Chains A and B, each alone.
Chain A
Amino acid sequence: MKHILQVLKFEYLNCIKNKAFIITTIILMLLILGTSFVPAIIMDIQKSEDDGEPTGDVNIIGIVNNAYDDNTLVEKIFTKYYPHSVVQVSEESVDELKTKVNDSQYTFAVVLNSPISFTYITKNNSLMSEETMTIAEAAKGIYRAVNFEKFGVDYERTATILDAPIVYDTVTTGTDQTKNYFSTYILVMILYMAIVMYGQMVSQSVVTEKNTRAMEMLITCAKPTHLMFGKVIGSGLAGLTQLVVIIGTALVSVKTISMKSLPEGLSDILTMPVSTVVYALIFFITAYFIYAFLLGSLSSLASRSEDLNTLTTPVMMIFVVAFMIVMMSMTSDINNTLMIVCSYIPFTAPIAMFARIALSDVAFYEIIISIIIQLVSIYLLGMLAAAIYRIGVLMYGNPPKFNEIIKLLKEQHKTNKAIKSKE
């Protein structure tokens, strides 16, 4: 036990003092501070765009009307939908429109081919653009106005009936997925990245110890099991320290910078319930131990950093798959069968269960069962990892194949038994 604490302390301090580690932390902190300004800046820009009277730069929309006799109606209704732009109805040809759009004389152009079809001409079509929908609405407005007129109905009056604005409220009795979606998304991302990062940190540290033969000295001072547990816990604590610093920065900056400048609706998504944060912490710890034990013990079989990839990739793949499943389920049904199964498999449970808890109502006993499964797995994996580590640390040359590991483990088990029975 004393040895574990000594190794833990040494590993922790070395992690914390490591230059790369400090630089990563600082960069992440700056990034978070930077991004917390972004919503405020975006809001500012949008505001000035909304308020701004079209001063120097006038947005001109070119329209060619091939559908109706009346140009003024077309102009009137388009102006209603684009109040800050100049709507210019002309007799230009499609090619002329294209040139003008391309030369940015027109923001965009529309050719009304018939009352119910139009061509939208734009320079760059952005993915998120909703321009065509607005134009369709405008075209529909013209169509309605013309046809209502035909039947002798006053369009102005019916328009208020047809487009009556509906106001609504949502009352959630369980978990509000829309409200927690953003924060959960961020936390799942952090969980995933942290585990990958700290898992690799443990891997690297094990291989370095072997590669520099520091292990030759260590192994004579302490038991390999103690060395491994000390290292895994020490690195984990260092990781936790980094996370606390980064998340702390994020919370403070969100509270002081973003919240003030954000409208209420948007600031909602940045607040998360305390219980969610606590669960994130619990599942970070379980996930860390599950993956650190696996990665640490497998890394002990490598003699050089180059061998690491071959050994750790399968484990990493499992984790990536778990992450993908969670990410995909988050946008559809978070409680689908796959997610429920995943939340009880130790390798996927930490992030799957966390996402379910954050985005839906999960019965408390389900959470407890999942956590117990994870704790038992950590214990078993710890034992297995210790056994592999004992074999690995003094093994040099090419990393052994899977069946060779099994064989060595069996042999070791036999010797241990023999020694115990002798004692």
Chain B
Amino acid sequence: MELKVENIFKSFGEKEVLKDISITAHGGAALGLLGRNGAGKTTTIRIIMGVFFPDKGKVLVDGKQIDRNNIRIGYMPEERGLYPKIKICDQLAYLAQLRGMSSKESQKACDKWLERMSMSEYKNKKLETLSKGNQQKIQLAATLMCNPQIIILDEPFSGLDPVNAMLLKDVIKEMIAGGAVVLFSSHQMNYIEEFCESIAIINQGKIAVDGRISDIKRSYPRDRIAVTSKDFEKISPFVLQKMPDDITDVKNDGENTVVIKMKSPDFKNRLFAELSQQDFDIDCFKVCEPSLNDIFVQYTEVGV
């Protein structure tokens, strides 16, 4: 299954919120949707959900106009929303039925998902009596109950303790493995890196950058090498002496690590060969890649 958002434009009154947004997400993989607050993520998601109509552009599933009556979409909004004063099983069943389940199916699914979230004991409790993290788990259960083919998660991990976060991660990984299309929006980059193969960064209503995370990282100049070794103090004078014309700078970077900046990435193999011929005790030799955080900040800083 492939979800494609094609050249979407959307304005609210005078304000142009989305300017030519295109993203593609595949089944069995998660796409990270990144952007600063107010960049247009939620609007994009709402257009996919059919809450707003785009002024221009299309939402396609496997190349055809999306038919929301036949495709099950699970959405977990950033602003958590359920009824605080209604029994958990009642509202879960209600939402599942609105998404097309029969009354019986919804009861079964409710039991199954509460069990999966280890929340069965709260079945007949009112939502407001639960802790924030537990409410979060109920919210995820509500999202996944209809066994969605497209899952949209907006900050699913906020407010969870590490054990619950682990539980949620397992559930989401299961859904991805099951072939669902997952759109994942978060400001916690570590989760994005953990789940998503690809990302799309939206900045001021436009796609600033998109693609596989590894490709994006590779697109940065790979001219810095980090070498971790007990002998790091000996390494820097050594490389400066051996390759004086090819190396512009050597810096100590934290414990046991030196970062070597070369004039060109092409010198990487020579550097490796030179170091390996010596008797240095090297733990790690790797190209310095930018972190997702760096990439995010670079693409979304004002004026870029």
Contact = CB atoms under 8 A, between A and B. Distances in A.
Contacts of B49: 219-220
Interface in A3-47: 3, 6-7, 10, 14
A415 B53 contact: yes
A218 to B, nearest CB: 7
Interface string A199-226: 0000000001100111111111110000
Interface string A272-293: 0000000000000000000000
A261 B42 CA distance: 69
A369 interface: no
Nearest to A213: B81
Nearest to B84: A212
A14 B126 CA distance: 13
Contact of B98 (A209, A222, A394, A415): A222
Contacts of B98: 3, 6-7, 218, 221-222
Contact of A217 (B13, B46, B53, B95): B95
A214 to B, nearest CB: 5
A137 interface: no
B51 A217 contact: no
A10 B94 contact: yes
Given A6-B97, A217-B142, A222-B98, A394 B51 contact: yes
A212 B81 contact: yes
A411 B95 contact: no
Contact of A221 (B13, B83, B95): B95
A403 B278 CA distance: 80
Contact of B51 (A212, A214, A220, A411): A220
B232 interface: no
A208 B91 CA distance: 15
A213 B77 contact: yes
B94 A212 contact: no
Interface in B67-87: 73, 75, 77, 79-84, 86
A220 B75 contact: yes
A220 B150 CA distance: 13
B97 A217 contact: no
B261 interface: no
Contacts of A212: 81-84
B99 interface: yes
A149 to B, nearest CB: 83
Contacts of A394: 46, 51
Interface in B99-147: 99, 142
Given A6-B97, A218-B98, A411-B13, A213 B51 contact: no
Interface in B24-59: 46, 49-51, 53, 55
Contacts of A415: 53, 55
Contacts of B83: 208-209, 212, 214
Contacts of A222: 98
A7 B99 CA distance: 12
Interface residues of A, number: 22
A419 interface: yes
Contacts of A10: 90, 94
Contact of B73 (A6, A7, A215, A220): A220
Contacts of B73: 220
Interface in A385-423: 394, 411, 415, 419
B32 to A, nearest CB: 20
Nearest to B86: A14
Interface string A173-215: 0000000000000000000000000000000000011001111
A214 B91 CA distance: 10
A213 B76 CA distance: 11
Contacts of B51: 219-220, 394
Contacts of B94: 6, 10
Contacts of A213: 77, 79-81
A145 B183 CA distance: 105
A217 B99 CA distance: 11
Contacts of A6: 94, 97-98
A217 B77 contact: yes
Contacts of A209: 83
A216 B86 contact: no
A415 B95 CA distance: 29
Given A10-B94, A394-B51, A221 B99 contact: yes
A299 B227 CA distance: 63
Contacts of B53: 415, 419
A215 B77 CA distance: 10
**Interface centre among B49, B80, B98, by most A CB within 10 Å?**
B98
Contacts of A7: 98
Given A6-B98, A10-B94, A222-B98, A216 B13 contact: no
Given A10-B94, A394-B51, A419-B53, A216 B77 contact: yes
A343 B32 CA distance: 60
A208 B49 CA distance: 23
Interface in A218-259: 218-222
A202 to B, nearest CB: 16
Nearest to A418: B55
Nearest to A230: B98
B135 to A, nearest CB: 11
A209 B83 CA distance: 7
B95 A216 contact: no
A219 B98 CA distance: 10
Given A10-B94, A220-B75, A214 B82 contact: yes
A214 B95 CA distance: 10
Interface in A61-119: none
A217 B86 contact: no
B297 to A, nearest CB: 28
Given A217-B142, A221-B99, 16 more contacts: A3-B98, A6-B94, A14-B90, A212-B81, A212-B82, A213-B81, A215-B81, A216-B77, A216-B79, A216-B81, A217-B77, A220-B73, A221-B95, A221-B98, A415-B53, A419-B53
12 contacts: A6-B98, A7-B98, A14-B86, A212-B83, A216-B81, A217-B82, A218-B95, A219-B51, A220-B50, A220-B51, A394-B46, A415-B55
* A-B interface, 9 closest residue pairs, ranked by CB to CB distance from nearest: A213-B81, A221-B98, A216-B81, A216-B77, A213-B79, A220-B49, A214-B81, A220-B75, A217-B81
Interface of B: 13, 46, 49-51, 53, 55, 73, 75, 77, 79-84, 86, 90, 94-95, 97-99, 142
